Structure 1
Amino acid sequence: MNKDLYREQFAQLESGRAGARLPWLQRTRSAAFERFADLGFPTLRDEDWKYTSVASIDKRSFKLVPASLNGVGADQVAALALDGSRLLVFVNGRHAPALSRLGPVGGGVEIGSLAAAIVRHPERFEEMLTRDAEAPVNGFTALNAACWADGALVDLAAGCAVDEPIHLLFITTDGDLAIQPRNIVRVGAGSRAEVIEHYVGPNDAAYLTNAVTQIEAAAGATVTHTTLQQEGPRGSHIADIRAEQRQGSRFTSQSFALGGLLSRNGIVARLAAPGCEATLLGLYMAGGRQHMDHHTLIDHLQPNGTSREFYKGVLDGAARAVFNGRVIVHADAQKTDAQQSNRNLLLSDDAEVDTKPQLEIYADDVRCNHGATVGQLDAEQIYYLRSRGVGDASARALLTFAFAAELASRVSCAPLRSRVEQLLRGRLPEQVKELP
């Protein structure tokens, strides 16, 4: 890693970033950069990264300052936008108001650019931004804390609801660029919101998305958060998503990893008060030499919590996937009900998956189970379809689509569910694309 180059670019960023005149934010950014310089990027010697090499990121000197904020047209955005959603667009890591479509929001609701919001009322974000930067998870989160330029803010006061999904669309067009989105989602007591983070790289360029999303769900709040990862074929995607839940809140995380050469999603749900519910759904589909890694943690800290985790993977070619799902039930978390499942379908002899579901229980009155499977298409099911006149390739395509689409069918938002199913058809053999 070229630390001198990153340090030089970091110095160039200082005067032009949002909040540059805030002493507490300057101190936070500087401390985070020094932590990044000390940590560097993770290596295979780090336990949580031993199956995922980021050497390709470490060796390349990415630009922290985008050369251009252009190159994206309204027609391109319209094709990506979800029907009926409130749309917030970022190009090369910066908010693009002209391409966004938010519409009017009611009192107590703020949706927009974090960079703009921190200029208006910085005191509302000091605790969240300093807390996260003081103890970065790894070199990537430290770099984000030091260098983020913009990101999305979704902030709901108590008793508010946003009926439409909030679509955060991040488009990267510059090669050799590292964008550092910092997103904050705060949902007040009894409030409700659905947020979709959508990452797209339309060009065949090497770049890095290094995103951090902080989510806070107050008592009785309902938050649904989806990551739809469609990075370009040479793009790398590193994401850290952390949700803090208060009493009786419900948090749903949905992760769909379909693009990128290298991707790593870290998702943490902390059930920090009694009666919380957390649901984590995930689907990853990799082919060629793609590498996809998911590390999740469901942290049951208080009693009467419920969690459900269902992840599926489909791998072809020489692709590789990693799933590490950890559920911790602490001593005070009595009457916890936790279930976890990871199922993987390998379509080629060269595809590989490393799956490690973990369940740590320190309480004695709980209901918990977990499991993982890795296998190929069922020969009997293929034979059944072929005996009814379906060709071999079509039978395999049908079964693969059914395996993946079962996870997509759990998505409650109809436009998002339709989009995911459409993308699944595009990733699968031709025989599936025309299915009703």
Structure 2
Amino acid sequence: MTTLTKNKVNDLIMSQIPSFGSFQTLREEGLAFLKEKGLPAMKEEEYKFTAISKKLEQSISDFSPAGKVVLNAETVKSHLFEGFDGDIIVFNNGHFDSELSSFQDQSYELNQLSESSPENLGKIAKIEKDPFVALNTAAFEDGIYIKVGRNKQVEKPIYLLFFNQANQGQIITPRILIEAEDNAEVTFLESSISLDEEAYFCNMVTEVKVAQNAHVHYNRLQHENKKAVTVNNFETDIHRDATFTSVVVSLEGDMLRNNLTLNLLDSGCEGNMYGLYLLDGKTHVDNHTNVDHTKPHAESNELYKGILADSSRAVFNGKIFVRQDAQKTNAFQQNNNILLSENATINTKPQLEIWADDVKCSHGCTTGQLDEEALFYLQARGIGKIQAKGLLLYAFAGEVLEHIANESFRKHIDALVQTRLGSSF
């Protein structure tokens, strides 16, 4: 794959890899993959528009794991949004912080991975799928396991707060496994927060099992500093009559790579993927999505929208697979973008691969500038140009924001989006 760190990664990970517990075999598998493949170069099809290995070579001097930093309850409280009511799970440089977390709901179980050794760890997000899954698997020290029991409904949202502050040359490796058993229902909120303006590399893996007739909503906000490099591998297994909905809002960072995979494993299940990226400066966001329809009578919906200013760059690569047995599939995919600068760039590639003959599938993409006629129409009715521009952009973004499940979180992100559209754009 790449000459970058093929020796550096292997040597450093081998010296830093934890040696405790039942994860040792899994870690060794991740390390063996890295030894053979290394990290991806731009010549690799999946990373051809995102030079993340080069970025790491420039930004990260080694791959030693980041330890915890000083973090207190006041800092956590200051990052709660208005109207929040629910449980809080705090991560300090990727390490679960039980003292600063607050979880009262008895409808689910929360344990550290090292205390529970769940059998599904590493079986949903497989090492061979992506080199950064292998890197996380080799390097993560611990993580959390959340289990929502059969017929349980978690009425209030579970808020995952990731506080990041690593010295240059450190890697943050959060690991999460979520299982929603039959007929369970839960909503997760997630925010990534930079505690300073220094560079760091966060390599996160989240695995989610959505059992029969379970319903999981996962809403994620990426609002990190302008030097943050983040890879997020998020993979789900969705079973009969179950629903999973993801909303990802990316506002800031240096280079963000989001790999999101929905495996629709049985009839009657539904997977929804929504994304919004508002980029300025030199921010680079790459959304790679995969939807795998394996059985008949399943449905997927995907809508990603982007607004790009300055010299920012976005990549969208969406793949829908419809297997031969997946008759009566309904699959929709769309990527729409507005470029506000001649220097902004979007590389978009929606894809369909269909092996069944009785399906309803569509995909497409659009890229353009603001509608000058609509802008003129608003100005002709007494609305200033800046305000008119903001209204049009907000209307464009709102179609994604309306899918955020929690009202207070939606209002919080809505305010951030409006501020961004009114100032930076």
Report the TM range for the smaller structure's normalisation. Answer: over 0.9
Q: Structure 1 residues 405-414 or 324-333, which shifts more?
A: 405-414
Shift of 1:430: 3.5
Pair 1:88 & 2:89 matched = yes
Give the superposition deviation at 1:7: 4.3
1:277–1:10 CA distance, 2 compared to 1 (3 A): same
Equivalent pair of 1:158/1:189 in contact (CA under 8 Å): yes
Change (3 A) 1:150 1:226: farther
Selected match of 2:128 from 124, 127, 136? 136
Partner of 2:211: 218
Q: Could you say which residue in structure 2 is the equivalent of 1:35?
A: 33
Aligned-partner Cα distance in 2 for 1:222–1:29: 31
2:332 matched residue in structure 1: 339
| % same residue | 32
Q: Distance in 2 between matches of 1:132 and 1:351?
A: 33
Per-residue deviation at 1:187? 0.4
Q: Which moved more, 1:79-88 or 1:337-346?
A: 79-88
Question: How many angstroms does 1:406 deviate by?
Answer: 2.8
Distance of 1:431 and 1:110 partners within structure 2 = 42
Deviations 1:153-212 (A, max 9, x none): 221121111111111111111222211111111000111111223211131111011111
Moved more, 189-198 or 277-286: 189-198
Larger CA deviation: 222-231 vs 235-244: 222-231
1:171 is matched with which residue: 148, 151, 163?
163
8 A contact 2:185–2:215 mirrored in 1: yes
Aligned to 1:105: 106
8 Å Cα contact 1:286/1:319 also seen in 2 = yes
On the 8 A contact 1:28/1:130 being kept in 2, the answer is no
Deviation string, structure 1 residues 123-163 (Cα, Å, up to 9, x no partner): xx234336745x43232111101011233322112111111
Opposite residue 160 of structure 2, the aligned amino acid is: L
Q: Deviations over 1:82-112 (max 9, x none)?
A: 5012100011111112211111414xx2124
Amino acid corresponding to residue 140 of structure 2 in structure 1: W
Q: Is structure 2 residue 62 aligned with structure 1 residue 62? A: yes
Aligned partners of 2:50, 2:104: CA distance in 1, in Å?
A: 41
TM-score, normalised to structure 1, is: 0.91
Query: In the TM superposition, what are the counterparts of 1:291-302 in structure 2 within 5 Å?
Result: 291-302=284-295
Counterpart Cα distance in 1 of 2:293 and 2:220: 23
| Deviation of 1:3 (Å) | 4.9
1:150 maps to what in 2? 142
Q: Partner of 2:242 in structure 1?
A: 249
Q: Deviations for 1:218-266, whole angstroms, at most 9, x for unmatched residues?
A: 1111011122111211001101111101111111111111121101101
Match of 1:159 in 2: 151
SS at match of 2:303: strand
* 1:324 match: secondary structure: strand
Secondary structure class of the residue paired with 2:253: coil
Hey, what's the Cα distance between the residues in 1 that align with 2:120 and 2:182?
19
CA distance in 1, matches of 2:143, 2:206: 9
Q: Does structure 1 residue 313 correspond to structure 2 residue 282?
A: no
Given that 2:125 and 2:234 are in contact with CA atoms closer than 8 Å, whether structure 1 keeps it comes out as no
Distance, in Å, in 2 between the alignment partners of 1:10 and 1:204 is 26
Secondary structure of 1:77 counterpart: helix
Q: Secondary structure at the match of 1:96?
A: strand
Distance 2:120 2:383 in 1: 60
Does 2:385 match 1:386?
A: no
Decide whether the 8 Å contact of 1:394 with 1:431 is kept in 2: no
AA aligned to 1:61 is S
Which amino acid in the other structure matches residue 256 of structure 1? Answer: V
* Match of residue 183 from structure 2: 190
Question: Corresponding residue for 1:10?
Answer: 13
Shift of 1:36: 1.4
* Amino acid in structure 1 at the alignment position of 2:364: G
- Paired amino acid for 1:393: I
Q: What do you get for the CA RMSD once the two structures are aligned?
A: 1.9
Within 2, Cα distance between the matches of 1:72 and 1:403? 38
Number of aligned pairs? 417
Q: Which residue is equivalent to 1:202?
A: 195
- Report SS of the residue matched to 1:69: coil
Query: Cα gap change, 1:156/1:364 in structure 2, threshold over 3 Å: closer, same or farther?
Result: same
One-letter identity of the residue aligned with 1:71: V
Q: Is the CA contact 1:339–1:369 (under 8 Å) kept in the aligned structure 2?
A: yes
Q: Which residue type is aligned with residue 149 of structure 1?
A: E
Query: CA deviation digits over 1:53-79, x for unaligned, max 9?
Result: 11111343234322x523333222112
Distance 1:182 1:208 in 2: 14
**Where does the alignment leave 5 or more consecutive residues of structure 1 unmatched?**
none
1:21 is matched with 21
Structure with the higher fraction of residues in strand conformation: 2
TM-aligned CA deviation for residue 9 of structure 1: 4.2
> How far apart in 1 are the matches of 2:375 and 2:123?
55
Q: Which runs of 5+ in 2 are unaligned?
A: none
- SS of residue in 2 equivalent to 1:303: coil
- How far apart in 2 are the matches of 1:387 and 1:369? 37
